[in-house]
Amino acid sequence: MRLAKDAGLHSLPDEWLSVPTDNDPDAGLKAATLADCIVAGADSIRDIAVLCHGAMKQVFTGCLPRQRLGVFLRFFTFGHVRQLDADVSRLLINLARKAPLFGAPSGESFVFAEVDDTISEVHGYQMQGSGCGYSGIRGLNNVLDTASRE
């Protein structure tokens, strides 16, 4: 968690995310809490209580109540999701600088990258950016990348 915080998990949303009608200004803490929830296996707003249970507060120090995060998420539009997407790109660049996955680039070996897409099923007709594809499932298209070294 310290590496993610040093790479900008909390500071990037504070700097780049604009949710104008949210009166509670701590976007970085809220976005980081949502990221923590996803890492812990949450897939809905109800699962956020997992982080506030028992000793989890010692690991995830930014434990916010799900009502506060729910109000934050209600103000999101598709544009705000794209802002968070740009923040994730910035975070990954910062992580690569702080902890190089494959060592220093030397040009002596190759890194193989496999890019594939998947569909995350969504429910409801008001989900912005979702649609039915070749599989007939209403969902959002996600791109997955796997990197390996020879």
Question: Per residue of the chain (150 residues), what is the pLDDT tens digit?
Answer: 678 778 888 788 878 887 765 565 677 778 877 777 776 677 777 777 766 666 666 666 666 777 777 888 888 888 888 888 888 888 888 888 887 766 666 666 667 778 888 888 887 777 777 777 777 888 877 778 787 776
Same domain, 68 and 94: yes
pLDDT at 48: 75
Give the CB-side neighbour count of residue 104, counting CA atoms within 13 A: 1
Domains: count for the chain: 2
Same domain, 55 and 94: yes
Torsion angle in degrees (nearest 10) through CA of 24, 93, 129, 70: -20
Same domain, 56 and 125: no
Contacts of 141 (CB under 8 A, 6+ apart): 117, 118, 119, 133
Catalogue the E-assigned strands of 15-137. 111-121, 131-132
pLDDT at 52: 67
Helices (H) and strands (E) in the chain, counts: 6, 3
Same domain, 94 and 134: no
- Residue 145, domain extent: 111-149
pLDDT at 88: 83
pLDDT at 34: 79
Question: 4 vs 12, 35, 85, 98, 143, CA distance in Å?
Answer: 11, 10, 16, 10, 21
Same domain, 94 and 119: no
| pTM, two decimal places | 0.59
Q: With respect to residue 104, please indicate whether it lies within any of the assigned structural domains.
A: no
Same domain, 84 and 141: no
Q: With respect to residue 106, please indicate whether it lies within any of the assigned structural domains.
A: no
